Amino acid sequence: MQLSTNKIGIVGMGQTGCSVLRWLLAQGQQPVLFDSRDQLPQAASELLALAPQSLTVYLGEFDSEALNSCDVLVVSPGISIATPAIAKAAEAGTQLIGDVELFCLFDERPRIAITGSNGKSTVTTLVADMLHAAGIKAAAIGNIGVPVLDEFGSDADVVVMELSSFQLETTYSLQATVACNLNVSADHLDRYDSFEHYAAAKARIYQQAKVAIWNRHDQRTKPHQFSGKSISFGLDLPEDQIAEEQWGVGLEGRHSSLLKGSTAVFNCADMAMLGGHNQLNALAALACVAELVDDLAPCANVLRTFTGLPHRCEPVYQQHGVTWVNDSKATNEGATLAALDGLNGSYRGKLILLAGGDGKGTDFCTLKQALNQQVDELICFGKDAVKLASKRHQARLVSDLEEAVRLAHDISCSGDLVLLSPACASLDQFPNYMVRGQRFAQLAKELAQEVSS
Q: Answer yes or no: is 117 a known binding residue.
A: yes
Q: Is 387 labeled as ligand-binding?
A: no
What are the CA-CA distances from residue 317 to residues 33, 326, 417 (Å)?
A: 46, 9, 10
Which one from 68, 143, 183, 332 is the annotated catalytic residue? 143
Q: How far apart are CA 424 and CA 445, in angstroms?
A: 23
* Marked catalytic residue, from 68, 120, 391, 409: 120
Q: Which of 441, 188, 186, 434 has its CA nearest to residue 328?
A: 434
- Dist CA 4 CA 23 (whole Å): 14
The verdict on whether residue 119 carries a ligand-binding annotation is yes
121 is an annotated ligand-binding site residue: yes
Backbone conformation region of residue 160, classed left if phi is above 0, alpha if psi is from -120 to 50, else beta: beta
Q: In angstroms, rounded to a whole number, what is the distance separating the alpha carbons of residues 261 and 249?
A: 9
Catalytic residue among 188, 202, 260, 277: 188
19 in a known ligand binding site: no
Please confirm, yes or no, whether 120 is among the known catalytic residues.
yes
Known binding residue 164? Answer is: no
List, as residue ranges, the binding site. Answer: 116-122
Residues serving a catalytic function are 120, 143, 188
Known binding-site residues for ATP equal 116-122
